[in-house]
Structure 1
Amino acid sequence: MNLILTGFMGSGKTTIGKKLAKKINYKFIDTDAVIERKMKMPIKKIFLLYGEFFFRRLERRILLNINLKESFILSTGGGMPCFKNNINIMKNKGIVVYLKTPKNRLFKVDKSNRPLFKKAKILLNKRKYCYQKADFTIENEKIDKTLKKLIKLVR
């Protein structure tokens, strides 16, 4: 049973995904980290040099090439489910969980590595529709509670 974590930037996908994978002994994949390794540069620079469309294509390629033979937790970029038909591909690869985080926490995150943060409130409103297509929505207020809810989904 694979879990795919989606949600807005700063919603805790990577932090929660790593902890969850460790607890249940799953492989953890962070699409941003994979892209940074392959491109040998930070996301912010990729956006600056090549633009968002290029970045979204890289995300999509990772999604399409995920090996389904071993169980995994996937942390996606905040815009991944809204690009082309990625949400459908995500659902074919595992259970998609939207980590819904209170706005007051979302907008307190470190903005330096997030190229789209200047448009954050507008983006969140646009992406809500995509996030609502997830198989499950989990209110992400406290990490421990969120982890317990996610473990129940997997087991």
Structure 2
Amino acid sequence: MAGKLETRNNIVLIGFMGTGKTTAGRLLAERTGRTFVDLDEEIERLLGMPVSAIFAQYGESFFREQEQQIIRQIICRSNIVFATGGGAVLLEENIRNLQQCGLIITLKCQPEVIIKRIVGDTAVRPLLNRENRLQVITELLQERCSRYETANFCIDTSLISTDEVVKKMEDLITIWKDSILLAKSI
């Protein structure tokens, strides 16, 4: 498996909404010469409508099926930074496929910070179109916690800038590549 990961040279970002996957992912792709791919943007492009409209018209189950299909296609690509949606890890098949795709980094964040980051952004975050968003976030984080822990590494983005997040990711990529080289030499 190490050889596959090395030749694909992909970085996969998982984590809850508002943790910085898209923002930091774009910058990481730019700095490392990779192509940036955002799962939600791919779904929107494919279906020709925003995520919120997909949820409203077809429901969450349909949306998760679209995620699954696109992940199957994207894992064949090379030299990408792939930002998944926060719930993409809910299906075990997605986790297995992402593990074949490359290095996985979870971006995590405190619920109170997530709320501040997504204020006024509920139109594109349909799971938060409810009362008591902080409670919803806390419950969803607890529900998904074990899935996010399947990553190779984790970065808490709560109190650091996007530049600091990207620097940490670059350091983790170096560690990951070094571990692949070490494994090949043994």
Please report the TM-score for the alignment, with normalisation by the length of structure 2. Answer: 0.79
Match of 1:107 in 2: 115
Report deviation, 1:91. 0.7
- Flag the structure with larger Rg: 2
8 Å CA contact 1:2–1:154 kept in 2: the answer is no
Report deviation, 1:120. 2.4
Report deviation, 1:130. 0.7
SS at match of 2:151: coil
Aligned pair partner of 2:90 in 77, 82, 100:
82
* Amino acid aligned to 1:114: R
| Number of corresponding residues | 155
Task: State how 1:132-147 maps to structure 2 within 5 Å.
Answer: 132-140=149-157, 141-142=159-160, 143-147=162-166
* Percent identity for Structure 1 against Structure 2: 37
Structure 1 pair 111/148, CA: closer, same or farther in 2 (3 Å)? Answer: same
| Misfit runs of 4+, over 4 Å | none
* Greater alpha carbon shift after TM alignment, 87-96 vs 60-69: 60-69
User: Relative to total residues, which structure has the larger helix share, 1 or 2?
Assistant: 2
Match of 2:17 in 1: 9
8 Å CA contact 2:75–2:101 kept in 1: the answer is no
Q: Give the unaligned 5+ runs of structure 2.
A: 1-8, 131-135, 175-186
8 Å CA contact 1:6–1:96 kept in 2: the answer is yes
Q: Give the unaligned 5+ runs of structure 1.
A: none
Say whether 1:128 aligns with 2:145: yes
* Amino acid aligned to 2:127: L
* Amino acid aligned to 1:59: E
Post-superposition Cα deviations, 1:31-66, rounded to whole Å, max 9, x if no partner, equal 100111111110001001111111111111111112
| Structure showing greater relative contact order (alpha-carbon pairs closer than 8 Å, 6 or more residues apart) | 1
Please report the TM-score for the alignment, with normalisation by the length of structure 1. Answer: 0.94
8 Å CA contact 1:21–1:28 kept in 2: the answer is yes
